[in-house]
Amino acid sequence: MSNANLYALFLERFPDDPSALFLDDVGGRRLYYSEIPRRSGQIHALLHQLGVEKGDRVVVQVDKSIEAVLLYLACLRAGAIYIPLNTAYTPNEVAYFLQDSTPRVFVCTPQNKAALAPIAAKAGVSAVLSLGASGEGELTDALAGVAASEQIVEVAADELAAILYTSGTTGRSKGAMLSHANLASNAQVLFDYWHWRSDDVLLHALPIFHVHGLFVALHCALLGGSRVIFMARFDVGKVIAKLPEASVMMGVPTFYTRLLERPDFTRETCAGMRLFISGSAPLLAETHREFEARTGHRILERYGMTEAGMITSNPYDGERIAGTVGFALPGVNARVADEHGREVPRGETGVLEISGPNVFSGYWQMPDKTAEEFRSDGWFITGDIASMAGDGRVTIVGRAKDLIISGGFNVYPKEIEAQIDELPGVRESAVIGVPHPDFGEGVVAVVVPDGSAGVSEESVVAALRDRLARFKQPKRVFIASELPRNTMGKVQKNVLRDSYQDIFA
């Protein structure tokens, strides 16, 4: 049996040329393909010294850096399960992830080490190392004198490579378990479907703690042996300055609306570009059209989720239609179904269900949640409302799940409502997403006081500051005497969304 380790697949594809550049950090640092085996092998050896064996978890909450990518590759080599966390999560949120995943090793930023080390100790984590944005810190220091391992741990196709946490409708985050085969199949399909070329240059401005920036973008580049212009974050000015060197960019819709706001973003900026890809949130048809008028490029929109990587994509050669997410990727099956999982006639709306080699195996230690989201025939219920045209083209028309997507980050209203409802003087609350010109949707809270204590927009905002990551915090809080309800007593969020739809206009 050959080794299904995803790292082995990448290694096979690394260019022979010792000067082939992988990560070209705009800060000036570089990582060549020829250095990856030794440098990731060294981290692998260190992980081994720290007791990491196949199947052990390694949780990582660090800034984007060359070393962070090497740490991911080292975890793959070690057969360890990589668990990246959003850098915006507060210590309070990190505590949950550590307790839930019980990692052997936790890597955090030097700035957060003092606050997080006791939390990690409480969760039983035996080793905590720091890693800074320029690669500095205890992890790098500990590598001095460590001989690189040459091993790539043997794994079976269904063994886990990563767990990515995605919030749940109940407010508790669920860890989606992704195997080496899940990741490998999706990477290979995207590489082919998007006609990836070895001379492609990818402009990478996404965070590397989510599927989009970590798997979709980096895996395509690794399979192509391509150069990556590596940016710590999306800074529109820096992106415009670097685009002339690039051929491919992947982004969330906010990237595209921010680019269009800049008069110095022109057809010339994009002269060397081959492909702009958008996903993680709906791209407005208006943005699609405006982008084409400005640059001559039709953005290729695709659709995916943490549990399955990429699911559908507009075609590379065929028509890229604004407002649609294209066709199920090769090997991926998609159907639009009613509440019983029966396929509805083409053109009608229902919930999108999927199956295929990209679909995760379940939520970490949550068999009941897993069972709820799969049909008995093994299809996964995405929770996205869609329609499928006669030719198989999919349009996402809404969400059956109560989810807000802000700037490409998911925010689950339940989690925010639970925090607000705990505050003194609050009877109940409802959190909604309404149109926001920059983030697509902006988070808004409507709070009903019980009269026992003073409650104001400022007091709610202040109380949430240390409890929730910044991107989850309501951008506005409104005080109301009651929430609109239907005859069943259920809060009518659609009524609230209508009332507040223009507040960010």
CB 55 within 8 A of CB 81: yes
Please say whether the dihedral angle defined by the alpha carbons of residues 364, 365, 369 and 375, taken in this order, is positive or negative: positive
- Rule CB under 6 A: choose which of 382, 387, 459, 473 binds ligand AMP: 382
The 8-class DSSP code of residue 299 comes to P
399 binds, among ligand AMP, ligand MCA, none (CB under 5 to 8 A by kind): ligand AMP
Does 306 interact with ligand AMP (rule: CB under 6 A)?
A: yes
Does 213 interact with ligand MCA (rule: CB under 6 A)?
A: yes
Helix, coil or strand: residue 17: coil
Does 279 interact with ligand AMP (rule: CB under 6 A)?
A: yes
Which residues from 140-179 bind ligand MCA, rule CB under 6 A?
A: none
Q: How many residues bind ligand MCA (CB under 6 A)?
A: 22
Does 504 interact with ligand MCA (rule: CB under 6 A)?
A: no
Residue placing its CB nearer to ligand AMP in the complex, 139 or 396: 396
- The rounded distance, in Å, linking the Cα atoms of 449 and 438 is 30
x/- mask, ligand MCA, residues 460-499, rule CB under 6 A, reads ----------xx----------------------------
- Rule CB under 6 A: choose which of 405, 434, 455, 477 binds ligand AMP: 405
Q: Which residue type occupies 372?
A: E
Does 384 interact with ligand AMP (rule: CB under 6 A)?
A: yes
Residue placing its CB nearer to ligand MCA in the complex, 264 or 450: 264
Q: How many residues bind ligand AMP (CB under 6 A)?
A: 18
Q: Which residue type occupies 400?
A: A
Cβ–Cβ contacts within 10 Å for residue 100, how many? 21
- Rule CB under 6 A: choose which of 65, 185, 355, 410 binds ligand AMP: 410
- The rounded distance, in Å, linking the Cα atoms of 334 and 356 is 9
Residue matched to tokens 């409507």? 446
- What number of CA atoms fall less than 13 Å from residue 336's CA on the CB side? 24
Does 325 interact with ligand AMP (rule: CB under 6 A)?
A: yes
**At CA 295, angle to CA 436 and CA 298, rounded to 5?**
75
- Rule CB under 6 A: choose which of 79, 137, 224, 408 binds ligand MCA: 408
Minimum CB separation from ligand MCA for residue 258, in Å?
Answer: 8
Does 253 interact with ligand MCA (rule: CB under 6 A)?
A: no
Burial class for 378, CB neighbours closer than 10 Å (0-12, 13-18, 19+): exposed
CB 314 within 8 A of CB 302: yes
User: Which is nearest to 341 in space by CA: 313, 308, 381?
Assistant: 381
CB 276 within 8 A of CB 299: yes
Our measurement of the distance from residue 477's CA atom to the centroid of its chain's CA atoms, rounded to an integer in Å, reads 27
- Rule CB under 6 A: choose which of 42, 130, 166, 287 binds ligand AMP: 166
234 binds, among ligand AMP, ligand MCA, none (CB under 5 to 8 A by kind): ligand MCA
218 binds, among ligand AMP, ligand MCA, none (CB under 5 to 8 A by kind): none
224 binds, among ligand AMP, ligand MCA, none (CB under 5 to 8 A by kind): none
Which residues from 347-406 bind ligand MCA, rule CB under 6 A?
A: 406
Which contiguous run of DSSP H or E holds residue 84? strand 81-84
Residue placing its CB nearer to ligand MCA in the complex, 213 or 356: 213
Residue placing its CB nearer to ligand MCA in the complex, 137 or 253: 253
Residue placing its CB nearer to ligand AMP in the complex, 67 or 384: 384
CB 376 within 8 A of CB 324: no
CB 184 within 8 A of CB 223: no
Does 304 interact with ligand MCA (rule: CB under 6 A)?
A: yes
CB 352 within 8 A of CB 369: no
Burial class for 440, CB neighbours closer than 10 Å (0-12, 13-18, 19+): buried
Which residues are at the interface with ligand MCA (CB under 6 A)?
206-207, 210-213, 233-234, 252, 254, 279-280, 304-306, 406-409, 439, 470-471
Which residues are at the interface with ligand AMP (CB under 6 A)?
166, 211, 279-282, 301, 303-306, 325, 382, 384, 396, 399, 405, 410
